[in-house]
Structure 1
């Protein structure tokens, strides 16, 4: 299968808005490529904070791709009102799915997060140190490698909050990285859900690669009212690393499935959009516990009021 790859360089503060625009046309989501520099012979890397970010989307070559590309270009043009440095030109090229997957391997390296977590791409070698918890990951075409600040902050919170025996829900699981970390840290069972079939396939494969297919149950779908009623008060910890307005739109369902006094961690939120998520969550019965921040990105922890 062939894809039309669309790439635009954006200011870090524009990543969420541009990603949301491209996601409306790219059925399998977007890929966010942050600038980095390598060390340790290419096995370690450091994100160059504050530098422009590349956002990629992929459209199947099905006869509608040119119309969609033009609509995306028009949408990006409106962002230029924020300043010419916020959004660059839209570039496109045709790629084969196999070639795309292999090329992206160059961008992923062993990542250390928190005090113990290590993310190891499946094609890279790594010898763990004592006490480290290693997740083997093949992101495929699904977002979630631990590189982006939102994923990093969520992983740090998972490391801090997960206790043996916990029941978790991971909404918008992507590659399954948060679910994998929770399982490795002792959670008894994790339900993971995503509305992308590519993400579901990727997360299932990653669970199997880590020997965690019994602990992690991945399904294709959304957290709707029916599912929330079925899982009411069920989870000790719920994770939702999505974007602010989506979190706000499902706030009642997120609150409903959290157990009394249980916790909810939400991310994918920039400071300017915080109210889009937080207002509905507070109205749904959650209370603020803690927030973490990298630049303008937030990960916020809430507790369900009894």
Structure 2
């Protein structure tokens, strides 16, 4: 089967919105192509900040693509009303099956985060330097490799806060990238939960790829009252890289899972939606001890009061 590749040139602030729109209609995942400059003979890169980002989505050529493309174009028109610089015109091209299966891989490179963490896509070669901790990741088309600010902030917090022997909870694990980092940095066990079967499969495969299946347990589910009660007080570090209103909706459950001296790191919060997450977390008996920001994205660090 041939595929139709849809590409939208997007302002960095609109990447999330455009990605969600494309993913809603394509159902095959999206690939985000950051503007980068390769360095160190192609082994590393730096992001060219502030420059447009390309978002790619894929539709099967099965007779339905014209109608779906029109729906996407209508959605993009509403975004473009914010300004021509915000969302560009959608480009289209046909790709063959074998090209489609690997096209998205071109957009992922070795990523350095924090002081020691290195994210290596499974198809890229990389020779680690002394003290570097390498996570081998196969994100599939549905997940990123740590480049997004929300994931980057979480990974930096994991690097700073994980100590040997810790027990870690990762809520909304996605590709499992945060769980991998916690285990590689010394956590004794990581419980990773997601409500998507695609995410559970991806995270499980990535744990196996890094020989961490014995320390990372990946489960399909949600952090509801029953699950929070079962996990109550167990975790030294709890991670939730989701979105603000979802974090707010499970604030009591997140607080319940924390050990007495445990720390909660939540991310996926755009500054304008801060209080959708923060107010319920404070009401759940937590206190904010720190926050970090990249661009308009924010991560909060909290612990139990008293």
TM-score (norm. length: structure 2): 0.88
Whole-Å separation in 1 of the counterparts to 2:55 and 2:93: 14
Count residues with an aligned counterpart: 306
Whole-Å separation in 1 of the counterparts to 2:26 and 2:252: 27
RMSD: 2.6
Trace 1:20-31 onto structure 2 (pairs within 5 A).
20-25=20-25, 27=27, 30-31=30-31
Q: Are the aligned partners of 2:34 and 2:107 in contact in 1 as well (CA < 8 Å)?
A: no
> Which sits farther off after the overlay, 130-139 or 253-262?
253-262
What residue is the counterpart of 1:173 in the other structure?
173
What residue is the counterpart of 1:210 in the other structure?
210
User: What SS is found at the alignment partner of 1:82?
Assistant: coil
What per-residue deviation string (whole Å, max 9, x for no partner) do you get for residues 189-222 of structure 1?
1111223322222211111111100111112233
> Which sits farther off after the overlay, 153-162 or 62-71?
62-71
1:41 and 2:41 matched = yes
Trace 1:1-306 onto structure 2 (pairs within 5 A).
5-25=5-25, 27=27, 30-58=30-58, 68-92=68-92, 99-306=99-306
Whole-Å separation in 1 of the counterparts to 2:21 and 2:245: 13
Whole-Å separation in 2 of the counterparts to 1:134 and 1:160: 16
What per-residue deviation string (whole Å, max 9, x for no partner) do you get for residues 221-241 of structure 1?
332333222222222111112
Whole-Å separation in 2 of the counterparts to 1:28 and 1:227: 31
Q: Are the aligned partners of 2:104 and 2:141 in contact in 1 as well (CA < 8 Å)?
A: no
> Which sits farther off after the overlay, 252-261 or 296-305?
252-261
- Structure with greater Cα Rg: 2
Whole-Å separation in 1 of the counterparts to 2:266 and 2:90: 30
Whole-Å separation in 2 of the counterparts to 1:125 and 1:99: 21
Q: Which runs of 5+ in 2 are unaligned?
A: none
Deviation, structure 1 residue 25: 4.4
Q: Which runs of 5+ in 1 are unaligned?
A: none
> Which sits farther off after the overlay, 43-52 or 123-132?
123-132
